[in-house]
Amino acid sequence: MQPDRVFLIKNSGFTLVELLILLTLLGLGVGLLIPAARVQRDRFAVLGAREEVAGLLHRARVEAVARGGAALSLVAGSSSVAIVAEEDTVARTELHEGYGVAMALSGNRQEASLFFGPLGLGWVASQTIRFRRGAAEAKLIVSSLGRIVRE
């Protein structure tokens, strides 16, 4: 007969106090990160809206060359942007629905149209388009020839 063996059971779990301390620290960390995450979300939204409008400006120039002229229509109240060529709406986007962004035009105008001729050059006065969401803001400056500057 073999002698009795004593098996030691190793405690591999955590105590309730340790788990409560961990959850408290985790909650504090998440609570501190939420405001920073909101700021970044707003910043990414205005940058995304700005880049979408910049893309539509480039596309309007291409459509102008292909179709003999095109216009980019901006409506500040509904934050909508559309490309119109040969009386057809080629592309349209709603920035407020897609990004939650408000758009403002220079001179506090509610509407503006940027016209592009058959060579893809603009026939407009310069325009500053502002995109806002929360504290975040981005600008797109369009020169009279249709060149853009991002701020």
pLDDT at 110: 93
Domain count, the chain: 1
Residue 71 has pLDDT above 80, yes or no: yes
For residue 137, pLDDT beyond 70: yes
Examine residue 117 and state whether it is found in any structural domain, yes or no: yes
- Total count of residues recorded for the chain: 151
Residue 8 lies in a domain: no
Output the CA–CA distances (angstroms, integers) from residue 127 to 17, 29, 49, 144, in the order listed: 62, 43, 16, 8
Instruction: Classify residue 27: in a domain, yes or no.
Output: yes
In terms of C-beta density within 10 A (0-12 exposed, 13-18 middle, 19 or more buried), how is residue 93 classed? middle
> What's the pLDDT tens digit per position in 7-57?
666 667 788 898 999 999 999 988 888 988 899 999 999 999 999 999 999
If pLDDT is split at 50, 70 and 90, which confidence band does 145 have? confident
The residue range of the domain holding 110 is 16-150
Tell whether 80 is covered by a domain: yes
Could you write out the DSSP letters of every residue in 84-107? EETTEEEEEEEHHHHH--EEEEGG
**Mean pLDDT along residues 52-74:** 93
On whether residue 71 sits in a domain, the answer given is yes
